[in-house]
Structure 1
Amino acid sequence: MAVDITRIEGTDVVLVESPEVIINTAQDALDLMATIYYNHECSKVIIDKACIAEDFFNLRTGLAGEILQKVSNYRFALAIVGDFGVYDSKALRDFIHESNRGRHVFFVPDRETALQRLSQV
């Protein structure tokens, strides 16, 4: 896993990159948030959807809800970058739409959009 810090509009944003899935469980997400906060004192994160287990995108597993609850509880802001049009689930599309209206989790197509959204929270 590689971590890169970018400063935008006076705030740090951590970009997490990995060639493999690093979030398989809610505990993995919590561990990642703790590592980022304690090592970089940052609570804004960008991660590619390929780094998150596919179970996250199947709402029936509950993984997405668990992770989003942790992100919200610990006052993190998370931008997940990727193509979400590959999923047929109306429930997932609605979930993504509602998340994007909030202030903690964003599903965006690219890093530039992620940086823009995170700079506004």
Structure 2
Amino acid sequence: MQIITHQKNGIQIAEILSDAIIINSVDDGTQVLNDLYYQGFDAIIIKAGQLAADFFDLKTGLAGDVLQKFSNRRVRLAIIGDFKVVESKSLRDFIFESNKGNLVSFRNSLAEVLDSL
């Protein structure tokens, strides 16, 4: 796993680069959050492919539990992926509602994430 640092409007942003799934469980999400939070990052960017498939199956509760950890710490999380192809209505609604707020967003590209901060 490699971290690229971005700065935007006084916000320190960690972009995680990895070909592996790095969040398979709530504990994994908490570990990533804690590691980067204590390094001074205010926001984290992760690609959808770095998240376990269960993250996108809302019935498992993984997404809700992980995102709650980020919300509690007030650390922004942006997930990059092609969310136009999402078939699940509940997941589409979840993404739509998340994108209305400031803490969690689902975007199509790094540029879109950086523009939204």
Common fold: TM-score over 0.5: yes
Q: How does the TM-score come out when normalised to structure 2?
A: 0.95
Residues 22 and 50 in structure 2, CA contact (< 8 A), matched pair in contact too: yes
How far apart in 2 are the matches of 1:62 and 1:47?
A: 19
Take 1:69 and 1:80, find their aligned partners in 2: how far apart are those partners?
Answer: 15
2:17 matched residue in structure 1 = 17
Calculate the aligned-residue CA RMSD, in Å. Answer: 0.9
User: Structure 2: any 5+ residue segments left out of the alignment?
Assistant: none
Q: Structure 1: which 5+ runs fail to align? A: none
The AA in structure 2 aligned to 1:11 is: I
**Deviation above 3 Å: which 4+ runs of structure 1?**
none
Which residue does the alignment assign to 2:104?
A: 105
The two structures have a TM-score, normalised by structure 1, of: 0.92
Partner of 1:8: 8
Cα displacement (A) at 1:98: 0.3
Q: After superposition, give the CA deviation of every residue in 1:8-59 in whole Å (9 maximum; x if it has no partner).
A: 1222111001110000011111100111122x31120111111000101111
Q: Counterpart in 1 of 2:66? A: 67
**Separation in structure 2 between the aligned mates of residue 92 and residue 37 of structure 1, nearest angstrom:** 27
Correspondence 1:1-121 to 2 at 5 A: 1-38=1-38, 40-117=39-116, 119=117
Deviations 1:58-100 (A, max 9, x none): 1111111101111101111000001012321000000000000
Whichever residue aligns with residue 50 of structure 1, its letter is: G
